[in-house]
Structure 1
Amino acid sequence: MTVLILGLVLFLGAHSVRIFADGWRTRTIARIGEKAWKGLYSLVSLAGFALIVWGFSLARQQPVLLWSPPMGLKHLNALFTLLAFVFLAAAYVPRNQIKARLHHPMVLGVKLWAFGHLLSTGTLAGVVLFGAFLLWAVLDFRAARQRDRALGTVYPSGTLAGTLGAVVVGVVAWAAFAFWLHAAWIGIAPLGRTL
């Protein structure tokens, strides 16, 4: 569990700088340059992510079961994850109504993904991993909305084509992950048998 927690501290810590130290971030970028900042940020994030993956796989070898989730929560998680993939796509597909209305769909997608997995796993490692991501997403969304208000950020209105594009990309990515990649990369087939 130590490796998982260290990975979460590194990864979510790097992604929390704008929540807790936005002024320091701005001053540091001015001092060392944007490329150096992005390089350092990327290295810390990748190291944290690698530790999260390794730590979670270690914790899964000797799981500590906190509760046994009913099958209905696993199905609900599949729905939440589908919506999360659509929200993730909406963060990148230009001119869609989802981003126009929600402003930060990727963070909302992380919230749905983390909440669904938190409900449907029932292990201590799952609570640590998905609970940490859920808490981070709640705080990040709040901070991002506060920045938007302070800066007067206006999001462009979406188009039907952009919205449909975000939905299609999200659904296709979700299907690929749910039916193939999740099992190949993580060893758990969420809509089938476990490897």
Structure 2
Amino acid sequence: MMADLLLIIGVFIAFHLIPAFGPVRRMLVRALGIKMYVGLYSAVSVGLLVLIGLAYANADTDILWPQWPWTRWMPIFTMPFVCLLLVSTLSEPNPFSVGVKADRFDPDHPGIVSVTRHPLIWALGLWAVAHLAPNGDTASVLLFGLFAVLAFVGLWSLDAKKRRDMGEEKWRRLTAPTSSFPMWAVLRGRTRLDLKGIGWLRVVGAVVLYGTILLSHEYVIGVSPLPF
């Protein structure tokens, strides 16, 4: 039912907004420890995402706009970039976003951070916007609209938190080779696109992930992603 989807979306938003307040987050980190906090936060987030998916699949829905043929191409062209951002998020050091070994980040070799310092958030936002266009029913607008809004609000929120945690001097030094908006630092001449840092293995990983999504989409979601 639509009420179930609205309820779980509300819980999801509240769960992510409350720890965003500095005093609340610091209290939780002190009480649990950073590793326990991150682990619990991630586990609950995944659980809520599963519940959102189940509620979305069973929601009553109405059509707000028809599915024009050109809109089916948007995920096809967008998801390769989403996959590269995701693969890089999981494998490259990044002190500004979710990533591994953030303390090993080298501003002279920023990798995917030369594209954006928030690859995970942009992956989420691009995924949501690309899927919103061909899915004009009320349940899809709620689902994909939620993640689009959370992603782009998260850009500002995460930057503010990281800047406060790092201090102004460290923030300016580490952000020199990057930007929040993709490719903006490259276009402004503040850095170069670090293709070597990204590496061909991550590109291959993104291609494999993209192919897996294409092949499994109809079986998992129930709808073919192909536009023809």
- Flag whether TM exceeds 0.5 (same fold): yes
2-structure distance, mates of 1:10, 1:44: 11
SS of the residue corresponding to residue 106 of structure 1 reads helix
Residue number in structure 2 paired with 1:128: 142
1:187 aligns with 2:214: no
Q: Is the 8 A contact 2:111 2:195 kept in 1?
A: yes
Call closer, same or farther: CA 1:161–1:149 in 2, change over 3 Å.
closer
Please give the residue correspondences for 1:1-195 in structure 2 after superposition, counting only pairs within 5 Å.
1-17=2-18, 20-59=20-59, 62-94=60-92, 97-150=111-164, 151=166, 152-153=170-171, 154=174, 158=194, 160=196, 162-178=198-214, 180-191=215-226
Call closer, same or farther: CA 1:96–1:8 in 2, change over 3 Å.
farther
Q: CA deviation at 1:38?
A: 3.7
Q: CA deviation at 1:17?
A: 4.5
State the Cα RMSD in Å.
2.5
Call closer, same or farther: CA 1:34–1:148 in 2, change over 3 Å.
closer
Q: Is the 8 A contact 2:73 2:227 kept in 1?
A: no
Call closer, same or farther: CA 1:17–1:104 in 2, change over 3 Å.
farther
Q: CA deviation at 1:155?
A: 6.5
More helix by share: 1
Q: CA deviation at 1:125?
A: 0.5
Q: CA deviation at 1:131?
A: 0.2
Give the number of aligned pairs. Answer: 189
- 1:173 corresponds to which letter in structure 2? L
2-structure distance, mates of 1:114, 1:126: 10
Call closer, same or farther: CA 1:160–1:101 in 2, change over 3 Å.
same
Q: Is the 8 A contact 2:64 2:136 kept in 1?
A: yes
The alignment-based identity, stated in percent, is 24
Higher Rg of the two aligned structures? 2
SS of the residue corresponding to residue 102 of structure 1 reads coil
Q: Is the 8 A contact 2:72 2:227 kept in 1?
A: no
Q: Is the 8 A contact 1:56 1:125 kept in 2?
A: yes
Q: Which moved more, 1:72-81 or 1:155-164?
A: 155-164
Call closer, same or farther: CA 1:167–1:8 in 2, change over 3 Å.
farther
2-structure distance, mates of 1:39, 1:97: 26
SS of the residue corresponding to residue 122 of structure 1 reads coil
1-structure distance, mates of 2:115, 2:153: 19
2-structure distance, mates of 1:13, 1:167: 36
Q: CA deviation at 1:7?
A: 2.6
Residue number in structure 1 paired with 2:188: none
SS of the residue corresponding to residue 142 of structure 1 reads helix
Structure 1 residues without counterparts, runs of 5 or longer = none
Deviations 1:51-108 (A, max 9, x none): 211111102xx43111012111110222122211111112123266322330110100
